[in-house]
Amino acid sequence: MKNITFTKRAVVAAVAGLALVGFTSPAKAVFVDLGAAGQFGALALTHGMDTSGPLGPNTPYTFMGNVGVAGTGQKFQASGSVSMAPGAKLYLSSGNSFNSSAPGVPAPQPQNAANDAFLNQARNDAFAASTFASNLAATATYGTINNTTSITEGAAGNYVFNITNINFSGNDTLTLNAPAGSTYTLNVSGSITLTGGSILVAGGLKAADVLINYTGTNNVQFSGGGNSSQIYGTVLAPFAEVGLHPGFIAGSVIADRITLSSGGEIGGMTQVPEMSALFPLVGLAVAVGSTHVLRRRRLTRKNVSV
């Protein structure tokens, strides 16, 4: 087992700036290809999605990317100030219901055979991606991480860490630190509970370089006023509910069920509007067409083997 270095780091800022960057290519979490699931900022695989409350402090919208409910006989429910970024789309499988009193949530896309096939493919791709990530050879293995911790790599590479539990309270943090061009995959099997704690990135890592593949069935729990619980990365939890009550994820959430309240936010790694739509009073010229922030990175024999 690799040694864990305990450090006290200030919470890195730039959340809003990261979350508001325009992404035009399908999302791929590090080198694990999410397939059609990568087209979503928030995707409920089997059960529904329930969102309520005010807007959070990090982004101007509750959902910065496309939203989908892929199961059947489920519900998308939204109330209060819940909103989706301009250009983001809502997909519901046929037979799912739409119950929203939130003016910032658009009507769903047509519930037809084509969109049903799209959602079913996204669901299958999400499960396949989780299995693929779980079978990657681990760079290092940890038990329970419940204190402020840094996992640092000095050379650029694709790194995989198997972790039993991440359980934080107060202001504890897990900082993932590596040079630019690196990717981190965290395979977590037991539980993820952030009660005022966060999973952050440092060095050259970005949220787009991190995949947290949670294979357990316990709810992934976020809480803490002002969205003090944060994750920089994509959360893939095909067998569990992810609940932000509140909390902030600077990435995508793909889970069995998704719930948000009290200002919970999902930054989203996919469909994000032009900057002009977000900041009409600011003279920003952003060339979005060729932007590819999330790129699939090939596995290297040096760091990762299947």
Per-domain boundaries in the chain: 21-136+217-278
Tokens of 81: 């100030």
User: Above 80 in pLDDT, residue 35?
Assistant: yes
Residue whose pair of structure tokens reads 């990717």 in the numeric block:
183
User: Above 80 in pLDDT, residue 28?
Assistant: no
For residue 109, give the 3-state DSSP assignment: coil
Q: What is the pLDDT of residues 190-209, one digit of tens each?
A: 999 999 899 999 999 999 99
248-249 sheet: strands from edge to edge: 149-152, 173-178, 198-203, 230-231, 248-249, 265-266
Q: What pLDDT does 277 receive? A: 31
End-to-end CA distance of the chain: 20
Q: What pLDDT does 86 receive? A: 96
* Cα(232)–Cα(218) distance, integer angstroms: 21
Give the phi and the psi of residue 160 in degrees, each rounded to 5: -125, 130
Length of the chain: 306
Rg of the chain over CA atoms, in angstroms? 18
Q: Residue 167: left if φ>0, alpha if ψ -120 to 50, beta else—which one?
A: beta
* Cα(272)–Cα(210) distance, integer angstroms: 19
Percent of all residues in the chain with a pLDDT value above 90, rounded to a whole number: 72
Asked if 231 and 212 touch (Cβ cutoff 8 Å), the reply is: yes
- Residue (of 31, 59, 9) closest to 250 by Cα position: 59
Mean pLDDT of 220-249: 93
Q: What pLDDT does 268 receive? A: 65
H helices within 230-278, ranges in order? 275-278
Tokens of 169: 């309270």
Q: What pLDDT does 53 receive? A: 87
HSE-CB for 269 with a 13 A CA cutoff: 31
- Of residues 223 and 127, the one with the higher pLDDT is 127
User: Above 60 in pLDDT, residue 305?
Assistant: no
Q: What pLDDT does 226 receive? A: 78
Confidence band (pLDDT; 50, 70, 90) for 31?
confident
* Cα(76)–Cα(74) distance, integer angstroms: 7
Q: What pLDDT does 269 receive? A: 53
Q: What pLDDT does 24 receive? A: 30
CA angle (128 as vertex; 126, 132 as ends), nearest 5: 115
Indicate the pTM of the whole model: 0.80
